[in-house]
Structure formats: C-alpha cells, structure tokens
Amino acid sequence: MFFTRLLSSVVLVVLALVTILTGGYLLAAVLLFLSLTAFHELMKACKLSGEQGRISGLEWTGGIGISVYYLVMVFAKERSYLFLILITILIAYMFLYVFTFPKYRAEQIMCAFFCVAYAPVMLSFIYLVRVLPYGIYTVWMIFISSWICDTCAYLSGMLLGKHKLAPVLSPKKSVEGAIGGIIGSALVGALYGYFMVEAVISEQQITWIFVLISAIGAVVSQVGDLAASAIKRNHEIKDYGKLIPGHGGVMDRFDSVIFTAPMIYFLALLLIHG
C-alpha cells in the first residue's frame, strides 16, 4: 500500500506540474473533470445518486450547472457572472424540487447544492489564481499550503505527537502535528518565495508575504482535511472513491486543496495585488 500510495503521489505531482504550468484550457478541462468526479463522489456519499448506475435528476442538474460554471469562468471576461451561475443552479434545483414534488425532500435539495458549492466551485479557484498576474508563481502556494502541510504534519505527529487534535473525529492527528504542518508549510513557502519569486516580484517583500499566506493556508487546509473526514464518518464510508490508487477518490486526495484554493486566491488579491 505504501509504494502504491507513493507512486500515485509522484504521478499526481507530475500531472500537476504539467497541467498548471500549461494553464489555460488544459487546466480548466482537468479541473472540470476533477470537479465533476468530486461532485459524483459527494452525491454518492450523501446517497443522492441514482440507483443501479442511473443518473438522478439531482445529479443532472448539478453536473450541467458545474459545466456551465466552468465555461463561464474560462470564456466570460466578467467574473461576477460566476455568482449569477451559482444562483441559477440553486434556482434550477428549486424548480426540480417544486415540479417533481414530493419526489425530493428539502434536505436533499440543500445537500445537492452543497455538493456543487463544496468541491467544484472551490476547486475552480485554482484556475482563478493561475490567471492572476504572477499567477504562475502564486498558484503553487495552494499546494504548499496543503500537500506540504499534510506531509510535515504527518512527520511531526509521528515524531512528537502527544496531544490529540480531534480525538473523536481523527484520533491519529495531534496538536504537535498540526503545528508542525503550519511551520513546515511556512518554511517551504519562505524558501520558494526567496529563491523563486523574489526576483520576479521585487517591488514587494514577497518572501514574508508567502510565509504569511503559507501559514494561513496550512491552518485552513487542516480544517478541510478534517471536514472531509467528518462527512465520511457521518455517512459511514472509508473512501469517497477509487480513482487514485492508494488514496481513494478526488475528495480523499484533494480535501485540503479544496479549502486552500479560495483562501490563497483572496490572500493573493489582498496581499500581492491589493
């Protein structure tokens, strides 16, 4: 299992490098695929998917809405249209709720909209960060704040972990591990900023900005990890899917990235482009 997990991680890193460095349509297409997969995983976990392989009305509505959202994100010049698409998806769900009543319960409609907003919309911020000025540099902060944090938290917890962070939800995670993840993320962010980005964005103290972004992102990423675990516990499943060998589904591997992507976007706007 360890070597399967390691090999999958290497492949993911290589694919991330190629996809994000290329950017543009390739990045948007990959994110759309990941978003639709994550949406399906969440709907299945929440028991909202169709029976016997059929696609339910809730899935059709969400899938079409997510696809339109990504098309608007890529081709529309005005980003505020994305809010219009989100509201339209919600209204579409209410149409489905009203005109098929009593087929779906209110909590099912609310949960389905949550499945749209949770992974698909939040993952889209990877693209939104990438298209910012200097986005080819700042986009990597998403992964430093999540994947580097995960690794450092795991190693710190193994070596120093004594106090449980969330004993009921995730007994193996420790306060020491969480702190180690934040420090490790901040350190890698500092090194990345100093050696790779400082010369490009020389008019700002980018190293210290990246330290701050990495640290805040690391805190948020750990909440994202625990949130995805909590949903699995509530619905009594081990993994969201089997797409990524050794890791599970998209939600299992990108749980922390889902939270860090929008946070890095707004921190970049505030601290770098503000």
3-state DSSP of 87-142: HHHHHHHHHHHHHCCCCCCHHHHHHHHHHHHHHHHHHHHHHHHHCCCCHHHHCHHH
pLDDT attached to residue 262: 97
Other residues' Cβ atoms within 10 Å of the Cβ of residue 1: 7
Q: Please determine, for residue 2, whether its predicted confidence score (pLDDT) is greater than 60.
A: no
Mean pLDDT of 152-176: 91
Predicted local confidence at residue 1, as pLDDT = 56
Mean pLDDT of 211-215: 96
CB neighbours of residue 211 within 10 Å: 21
204 vs 75, higher pLDDT? 75
The predicted pLDDT at position 6 comes to 67
Q: What percent of the chain has pLDDT over 90?
A: 78
- Where residue 144 falls (left for φ over 0; alpha for ψ -120 to 50; beta otherwise) is alpha
User: 209 pLDDT exceeds 70?
Assistant: yes
| Interacting residues of 255 by C-beta distance below 8 A, sequence separation 6+ | 224, 225, 227, 228, 229
Which has the higher per-residue pLDDT, 245 or 17?
A: 17
CA–CA dist 151, 148 (Å, integer) = 5
Predicted pLDDT at 156: 93
Average pLDDT, the chain: 92
For the ranges 22-26, 215-219, 230-234, which has the lowest average pLDDT? 230-234
Q: What is the DSSP letter of 245?
A: T
Tokens of 151: 């690794």
For residue 12, name the pLDDT band (cuts at 50, 70, 90): confident
**CB burial string 156-191: b at 16+ within 10 A, e below:** bbeeebeeebbeeebeebbbbbbbbbbbbbbbbbbe
The stretch 94-116 carries a mean pLDDT of 97
| pLDDT at residue 109 tops 90 | yes
pLDDT given for residue 239 in this prediction: 87
* pLDDT of residue 100 exceeding 80: yes
Q: Above 70 in pLDDT, residue 268?
A: yes
Backbone angles phi, psi at 124, to 5 degrees: -65, -20
Residue 33 neighbours by CB distance under 10 Å: 12
CA proximity to 126, closest of 201, 47, 30, 238: 30
DSSP 3-state assignment of 172? strand
Tell me how far apart the alpha carbons of residues 216 and 270 are, in angstroms, rounded to a whole number: 13
Q: Which residues contact 211 (CB under 8 A, 6 or more apart)?
A: 186, 189, 190, 193
Check residue 274 and give its pLDDT. Answer: 65
CA 124 to chain centre: 8
CB 123 within 8 A of CB 257: yes
Report d(CA 52, CA 54) in Å as an integer. Answer: 6
Q: Are 120 and 36 in contact (CB under 8 A)?
A: yes
Q: What pLDDT shows up at residue 7?
A: 81
Q: Grade residue 50 by pLDDT with cuts at 50, 70 and 90.
A: confident
Report the percent of the chain where pLDDT is more than 70. Answer: 97
pLDDT at 21 over 80: yes
